[in-house]
Amino acid sequence: MKRKWPVILIVLLSAAVIITVIVTEHTSTLPGRRPPNPFAYDVDEFRSVDPGMIRWKEARQVELDTHTPRAIAYTDGKIYLAADNELQMIGSDWSRMMRRILPGAPTCLAVAQDGRIIAGMGNHLVLLNSDGETIAESETLAGESNITSVAILGDNIYAADAPGRRVLVFNRELELIDEFRGDSGVSEIHGFIVPDAHFSLAVNPENELWITNPGIHALQNYTPSGRLRSYIQRTSFTLEGFSGCCNPVHFTFLPDGRFVTSEKGIIRIKVMRESGETESVVAPSELFAGGTRAPAVVVDNDGNVLALDFDRNMIRIFEPI
């Protein structure tokens, strides 16, 4: 009996060590075993979407052979992609038709019906022919300017300058001829409020100029001379509106004039009627899990939505169901 005590002691000590190791391992804060963040910023309840609202399906993903995608445009069966310091033209069969080095990093793109291309280059515009050769350059804008979106309407080119909170109007020779700041004179409708580098404009199939006012969650319709004509304003974390301080980030139009909007924060793409009601969801936020940037959107000739996913470096094609 006397000889067994050391053995029992060793067994008890070993058991104590094993239990200590297990408990320590269980309660450790090593990666993978950390407790959830008690201060988590939780918007999950707003991510869920009624499946009946999702009336689009993701048909295809096209990975890009670029490092940093920057902007996308679509005209007449061709995709125009600005990425890194270059411009690419991609055909409907996804073959590359043109690739040109640009004199800097493009920030936005627009293509006229005649094939001429306008590229925003931060503080100036560049006009290129359909082969991607530079035809003209605008003067460099004074002060802190960043052209984040560009559109063509009639003989004018409209460029959204986010830091300047203004829309610049250029002629076809890229001469600056006018600017406006969205002041309507009506007290409840403020001029452009642009908290970050997301300020977007587009022309709808009816040749109407629409501009975001992200600081008040609005899409605003302006005359070519810059007078506010009408607006849609929707604030909500749900699908019915826009959330945060900088949404919608990008938008475009379906062939019948409905809006396609892309949002950040809760990254999602949805379709809004011209009256402002949300009609359907193109891509719910679960399709952009882990992403941080709202995709740029264009619509092709068939009415499909093409989303430039900056986080995944790909173009994602969504077809109506």
Please report, as ranges, the residues that interact with other proteins according to CB under 8 A: 29, 31, 34, 37-43, 45-46, 187, 190, 193-197, 215-217, 235, 237, 243-247, 264-265, 292
Minimal distance, residue 215 CB to other proteins, in Å: 6
Minimal distance, residue 115 CB to other proteins, in Å: 35
Nearer to other proteins, 247 or 304 (CB): 247
Nearer to other proteins, 90 or 266 (CB): 266
Minimal distance, residue 255 CB to other proteins, in Å: 31
Minimal distance, residue 196 CB to other proteins, in Å: 4
Nearer to other proteins, 230 or 238 (CB): 238
Minimal distance, residue 302 CB to other proteins, in Å: 33
Whether the upstream peptide bond of residue 38 has omega within 30° of 0, thus cis, is no
Minimal distance, residue 69 CB to other proteins, in Å: 17
Nearer to other proteins, 31 or 52 (CB): 31
Report DSSP state, residue 30.
S
Spatial separation of the C-alpha atoms in residues 225 and 145, rounded to whole Å: 21
Nearer to other proteins, 83 or 151 (CB): 83
The 3-state DSSP class for residue 313 equals coil
Residue at 313: amino acid letter: N
Nearer to other proteins, 129 or 235 (CB): 235
Spatial separation of the C-alpha atoms in residues 273 and 287, rounded to whole Å: 23
Nearer to other proteins, 122 or 244 (CB): 244
Closest listed residue to residue 108, CA positions, set 74, 153, 79, 150: 150
Q: Are 297 and 316 contacting, i.e. CB atoms less than 8 angstroms apart?
A: no
SS3 content of the chain, % helix, strand, coil (to 5): 10, 40, 50
Minimal distance, residue 52 CB to other proteins, in Å: 22
Report DSSP state, residue 215.
G
Task: Please name the residue ranges forming H helices in the chain.
Answer: 4-27
Structure tokens at 175: 């001469």
DSSP string covering 250-278, please? Answer: EEEE-TTS-EEEEETTTTEEEEE-TTS-E
